[in-house]
Amino acid sequence: MRNRMIAGNWKMNKTFSEAVVLAEGLAKELAGGTGDVDVVVAPPTVDLKGVAEVIEKEEAPFALSAQNVYWEEAGAYTGETAPNMLEAIGATYCIIGHSERRDYFGETDEDINKKAKALMAHGIVPISCCGESLEIREAGTHVEFVVDQIKKDTAGLEIADPAKYVIAYEPIWAIGTGKTATADDAQEVCGAIRKTLVEIFGEETAAGIRVLYGGSANPSNIAGFLEKEDVDGALVGGASLKADGFADMVRSAMA
């Protein structure tokens, strides 16, 4: 019903040539195919073209994602990238609302909602991130916090094909800290996200939307997350920067 997804967020790592080497390594690792698992890599914007070329040349079984987008089509927005530019370069996914963008660059749920709409208008699949801070987790209000983010981030979206909208639950306290949420922690929130999606979009659409877990996911802990009913894969940071380890995570999802 829902294909699993393993997505690698390279964040601000890898120069152009390093990104090409990593993509080539991953293409080699995954040359045998990825079964029903959708694999996605998200290099920095300036590396997208290089990775797109590797995917084409090697017929690599993974898709290309950007890490950010602006919602306008064109114009005087220095430093930004428009959805049609991503489309033209071969990006079929785009991460939006990552906590690092929310925290360091002041992105709001309203911005993220506009970005989702702009991407979907171009047929690019948003991977929309949500997740609570340690403070919120310790206050015990994490479920309602994330549910509120989901409601705002999806406001007014029309999802014709549920495979084309992806959510990533990334508790901020687990990102890059080596401190993972437990699989039960992930299920608690991913289950609440699914319930919210049912309320907003109805059973059928909600059943087709992938909800990923992210936050110190790695080859040794991924299997535990994937066992959970509402966890459909992972958005991987640090562990996506090594082709062999990331490919191992894909293989775990194929099992």
Q: Give residues in contact with ligand 13P (CB under 6 A).
A: 9, 98, 170, 175-176, 214-217, 235-239
Q: How far is the CB of 160 from ligand 13P (least distance, A)?
A: 26
Q: How far is the CB of 56 from ligand 13P (least distance, A)?
A: 25
Q: Residue 254: which residues within 8 A CB-CB, separation 6 or more?
A: 34, 35, 36, 37
Nearer residue to ligand 13P within complex by CB, 69 or 239:
239
Residues sharing a CB contact under 8 Å with residue 195, sequence separation 6 or more, in sequence order = none
**Which is closer to ligand 13P, CB of 201 or CB of 215?**
215
Give the 3-state DSSP-derived string for the chain, with helices as H, strands as E and coil as C: CCCCEEEEECCCCCCHHHHHHHHHHHHHHCCCCCCCCEEEEECCHHHHHHHHHHHHHHCCCCEEEECCCCCCCCCCCCCCCCHHHHHHHCCCEEEECCHHHHHHHCCCHHHHHHHHHHHHHCCCEEEEEECCCHHHHHHCCHHHHHHHHHHHHCCCCCCCCHHHCEEEECCHHHCCCCCCCCHHHHHHHHHHHHHHHHHHHCHHHHHHCEEEEECCCCCCCHHHHHCCCCCCEEEECHHHCCHHHHHHHHHHHHC
State the minimum distance, in angstroms, from the CB of residue 129 to ligand 13P.
Answer: 7
Q: Which is nearer to ligand 13P, 121 or 223 (CB)?
A: 223
Catalogue the active-site residues: 98, 170
CB nearer to ligand 13P: pick between 77 and 105: 105
- Based on CB atoms, which residue is closest to ligand 13P, 98 or 228? 98
Closest approach of Cβ 1 to ligand 13P, in Å? 25
Q: How far is the CB of 57 from ligand 13P (least distance, A)?
A: 27
